[in-house]
Amino acid sequence: MQKSKLGPLFIVAGNRDEYDDFVIRKRMRGCDYDFRYVYGPDALRGLNTIRGFYVGSYQERNDWPEIDVAIKIIKACGG
């Protein structure tokens, strides 16, 4: 199976277990993306484009407001 050339998919999940479950399900279906867990807003610094998913209880994270703002800034700049 060849790796996707579309770049990484950033996953904002409520916690690492939700992220791991998501990735396992996607891999079982044959997805070969480079999944990246958004551990905090710092994981998004320097990006000029972003693609990904929101998973599980992500809105319950203490750092969700900062992650949300970081994603909105990236999208507003063309990403």
- Give residue 11's identity as a one-letter amino acid code: I
Asked whether residue 48 is domain-assigned, the answer is yes
pLDDT in tens, 29-78: 999 899 999 999 999 999 999 999 999 999 999 999 999 999 999 999 88
Please tell me the distance from the alpha carbon of residue 37 to that of residue 1, in angstroms, as a whole number. 22
Asked whether residue 22 is domain-assigned, the answer is yes
pLDDT band at 3 (very low <50, low <70, confident <90, very high): low
74 close to 30: Cβ distance less than 8 angstroms: no
Asked whether residue 42 is domain-assigned, the answer is yes
Asked whether residue 61 is domain-assigned, the answer is yes
Q: What was the pLDDT predicted at 1? A: 47
Q: Residue 58's domain spans which residues?
A: 9-76
Q: How many domains does the chain have?
A: 1
